[in-house]
Amino acid sequence: MNLYIFSNSKNIEKFFEKIKKSKDYTLNILPAKDIKSVEKKAKPASLIYADISSYTETERPKILRQLYKLNDFTFGIIDPKNTIKDTAELFHNGASDYIGRDLFKDPLMTKRLKSVLDFKKIEVADDKYKKKIATEFIISGTDWSSVKAGKEYTFTFMFIELDNRKEIKELGTDHFKKIMATFESYIKHIIAPLNGKVWMWMDFGGLVLFPFDGIKCDAILTALRLFLNSKILSAEHLHVDLLLSYRIAVHIGNTAYKSRGQTGTLISDTINSIFHLGQKFAEPGTFHLTDEAFAFTPEGLEDCFIPAGEYEGRNIMKFKTIL
């Protein structure tokens, strides 16, 4: 993220010293007068801070009016002398941050900038994929209240299937049934807060469906927890000397919806794709995302995934191997 600071203050560099060290931001400190040509100097979708103490009393209203008119930037005001009387007005006119005298005493933390960007729901500038597929969504929502059988919607799909089938079957029919019942029960428990449903269930796993609101995909975090906690699940709930290994794959796509048990007649490319990905592409003990799902990876988790090649016309990302 590009950051442009317009200030003549000798303390401004010290204030942004932590930001300068951060790899997430490119810091540019420019003379206060250069704000008049901000749209030429700054890259679109950048974050701008204007140090209001660097302008005269006459200049300040003009500078603020100029900032209010900006379309392609997020801006904040630095006010080291608490000059501005009505800070709320700044936000009414589109400001995303205000740094007054007290806050200016200590170096700015990167967490503050993250809050500013979250406040404006800033998308990464070059996230073209998210913008592209947004037009193809048929939002199913955050719960099932508006989902009707027979109609098509966009959902998050989580495929999950056990790897160590032979070992489980060797334990005998009773143990096998108990293990699968425990596994399904655990999955139901962990997906419940996101209104997930175990939608298709076979011998060793199946497909979980989550409603999708088009904004975020917390199901990826749920899938990650399932992935990381496999040893805990096995040791705590199975009561046999066995650790479960399973493959998880997450995709966002469209399908007509039918209730569990009524899905036999469903014909869906999305369902076929996710099953192929989980059963034919994914290796044992791995966690994959399709490109569609990766675009909605919760912030902070993106660097945990690496490219895993292409499959059936999609780029696939894989959670890094745990050493």
- Footprint of another protein (CB under 8 A): 18, 22, 106, 109-111, 221, 224-225, 228-229, 231-232, 234-236, 241-243, 298-301, 304, 320-323
- Among the listed residues 27, 22, 23, the one whose alpha carbon sits nearest the alpha carbon of residue 46: 27
Nearer to another protein, 134 or 232 (CB): 232
Residue 242: strand, helix, or coil: coil
Pairing of strands 314-319, 305-311: antiparallel
CA 32/CA 168 separation, integer angstroms: 70
**Residue placing its CB nearer to another protein in the complex, 42 or 238:** 238
Q: Which is nearer to another protein, 192 or 304 (CB)?
A: 304
- Nearest approach, Cβ of 318 to another protein (angstroms)? 10
Contacts of 216 (CB under 8 A, 6+ apart): 296, 298
Closest CB to another protein among residues 149, 323: 323
With contact defined as beta carbons under 8 Å apart, do 194 and 222 qualify?
A: yes
**For another protein, which is the closer residue by CB, 19 or 198?**
19
Taking the complex as a whole, how short is the minimal distance between the CB of residue 299 and another protein, in angstroms? 7
The full length of the chain comes to 323
The pairing of beta strand 2-6 with beta strand 26-30: parallel
Give min distance, CB of 236 to another protein, in A. Answer: 6
Q: In what order do the strands lie in the sheet with 74-78?
A: 26-30, 2-6, 47-51, 74-78, 97-99
Q: How far is the CB of 66 from another protein (least distance, A)?
A: 33
Shortest Cβ distance from residue 185 to another protein (Å)? 15
